[in-house]
Amino acid sequence: MNEQHLRAIAKQMRRKILDISHTCNMSAHLGGGLSMVDLTATLYGDVMNYDRSNPSWEGRDRFVLSKGHGVLGYFSALVVNGVISEEVFNTFQTNESDLIAHPVMNLALGIESSNGSLGQGLSLAVGMALAAKKRGQKHHIYVLLGDGECNEGSVWEAAMSAAQFKLDNLTAIVDYNRLQSDGAGADIIDYIHFEEKWRSFGWNVCSLDGHDIPAIHHAFTECTVADKPKVLVAHTIKGKGVKFMENNNDWHHNRLTKPFYEQALLELEGN
Amino acid sequence: MLEITSSNARNWSRLGSRGVFGQAILALAENRPDLMVLSADLGNSSGLGRFKQSYPDQFVNVGIAEQNMIGVAAGLAKENYTVFATSFAPFIAMRASEQIRMNMGYMGFNVKAVAIGSGVSMAYLGNSHYGIEDAAIMRAIPNITVVSPADCAEIVKCVYAAADFDGPMYIRLTGGPNNPMVYTEEYEFVIGKAITLREGSDITIIANGTMVYQSLEAAKLLEAQGISATVVNMHTIKPLDTSVIDKAVASSKLIVTVEEHSVIGGLGSAVAEYKSGLRNAPPQLTLGLPDHFGKTAEYPYLLDAYGLVAGKIAQSIAAKYAE
């Protein structure tokens, strides 16, 4: 792992997120996109096996964005790592674009699935991992969820089945930023004993700082237990990288007007 | 490959729709290593007991978790498995409705959702287990083909056809044990293509599921009263074979739809939606289950109470025809 390289990727991704959120001239899911950047930067910058010039290559590792509103932390990884072009990226949230506020399945662009309805991606990933197991294929399935998303009961149905099917080729990542649409998760449905919940559902649980790239890399590549699906409970900061957005739920979905954009760039460069 | 013969038809009739579904899927698996069959802990009740013993690697019980079942089915289909996901009609069509919308409708994954015991065949298990709205809900989701086989022979045909059909489907199985048979010999079954079983000059009866047999019998009773009826097996509700409706509009004085489904949103609605755009179309009589949750009873009792038996269908039609 080259930490400097991954940090540079993460920084470029944040820059891309700010640029596109400003130029698209409409609200975008900034907070939850920024919180997951170090996770997807590590995945796409080092951990995942894929072919940028042939995104539908059969042997690729698969990534499912279950928290579909996290597209800014996803499309930015695709563009910075050369899977999609700048030209495509710049169509974000324009009429009839392939890149809108939630992923639309498009293997040519490296987008594995359509999302936007929370609580469904883990089930899909379980099916994909089960298929790979049945065929003895070696690729790995990654699926990124939000902590708020784990309010959905279907997440836990899927979690039980992944453990039952012994899917050690499946890694879930929870972007645990503690904020959801209406506010703090603790005030809505408290995530008490969150790690223990996953552990009790039969998962191999890695709890970590979701902005510590060496720790993220280590969790992805080591910390493996045979026959168990793995979950990274990644403690993150919503809006990470731009101080005035950090832990500020006004930036869950908001418009990045010029004064805010300029201030955000200064803060990003200062980091 | 199961073949429709008079002796098979007799056996299948006794066995009923879910047992025959199980036999068909077992026969299908012989040459289909790409086949996966999923259940939400209703494998035995869905006729899959032998399948899971014979093909344990191709059977997945996801537990009592229909939402997860559809997602897992989609993940397998994404990796090029042909997947049949099964449960009772309300649990698959309604509990997992949005999973079906996202995975099968929106993403178009090649999953066949099989609704066991649709209509009111669950009898004393009650309204919680009935499938009276499922076709309406599934029909409203883009990309999903909706099929309701006429009898146990057509269930066999439908299972084979579904396995070769590249796209998401909802298969609605009606009828219990001792299911009356429409087909006792081989015939051509094509998804989306209605089958005219009987030609008549006065009216056209369009039916599916268990109501195809009842409509054929009703046509015989009407014949005795001097009303000559065409009977069409519209096994595919979506996409609708509109050519038979065009023909009926041109030649019939009354169009009747008969289905073991709510009169809201199913076959009757589908026919009416199309027919409403045609000039000089005859009136339509829509026979089906009423829009309510009624008292429960034995299956044959319920069909009779709802007027969905040949004699009562014929009576309703004769009364409307006389208007």
Task: Give the strand pairing for A179-180 and A183-184.
Answer: antiparallel
Provide the token pair at B33: 């290593």
B 92-111 residues with CB < 8 A to A: 98-99, 102-103, 106-107
Q: Spell out the domains of chain B, with CATH numbers in brackets.
A: 6-172 (3.40.50.970), 195-322 (3.40.50.920)
Q: Is B199 a catalytic residue?
A: no
Q: Compute how many other C-beta atoms are within 10 angstroms of the C-beta atom of residue A166.
A: 16
Q: What is the mean pLDDT of residues B257-266?
A: 98
Cα–Cα distance, B83 to B121 (Å, whole number): 25
CA A241 to chain centre: 16
- Closest residue in A to B57 (Cα) is A134
> For a pLDDT cut of 70, what percent of chain B falls above it?
100
Phi, psi of A235 (to 5 degrees): -75, 115
Q: What is the DSSP string of A21-32?
A: HHHTTS-B-HHH
Name the residue facing A126 among B57, B71, B103 (closest C-beta).
Answer: B71
Q: What is the pLDDT of residues B200-250, one digit of tens each?
A: 999 999 999 999 999 999 999 999 999 999 999 999 999 999 999 999 999
Residues of A in contact with B74 (CB under 8 A): 123-124, 127
Work out how many CB contacts closer than 8 A connect A with B.
89
Residue B102: predicted pLDDT: 98
CB contact under 8 A, B78 and A117: no
- Closest residue in A to B107 (Cα) is A114
Q: What share of chain B is helix, strand, coil (3-state, %, to 5)?
A: 45, 20, 35
**Three-class SS of residue B151?**
coil
Under CATH, domain A3-270 is a member of which superfamily? Thiamin diphosphate (ThDP)-binding fold, Pyr/PP domains (3.40.50.970)
pLDDT category of residue B1 using cuts at 50, 70 and 90: confident
In angstroms, the separation between the Cα of residue B143 and the nearest Cα of chain A is 15
- Closest residue in A to B80 (Cα) is A131
Name the residue facing B102 among A114, A127, A164 (closest C-beta).
Answer: A114
Ranges under pLDDT 70 in chain A = 271
Residues of B in contact with A159 (CB under 8 A): none
Q: What is the pLDDT of residues B96-135, one digit of tens each?
A: 999 999 999 999 999 999 999 999 999 999 999 999 999 9
Strands (E), A10-152: 62-65, 141-146
B 65-94 residues with CB < 8 A to A: 65, 67-68, 70-81
Taking all residues of chain B, what is their mean pLDDT, rounded to a whole number? 97
Q: What is the pLDDT of residues A177-194, one digit of tens each?
A: 999 999 999 999 998 999
Residue A271: predicted pLDDT: 64
**Catalytic residue of the set B3, B66, B223, B273:** B66
Residue A269: predicted pLDDT: 82
Q: What is the mean pLDDT of residues B53-65?
A: 97
Provide the token pair at B27: 């026969």
Task: Check CB contact of B32 with chain A, cutoff 8 Å.
Answer: no
Domain ranges (residues) in chain A: 3-270
In angstroms, the separation between the Cα of residue A188 and the nearest Cα of chain B is 23
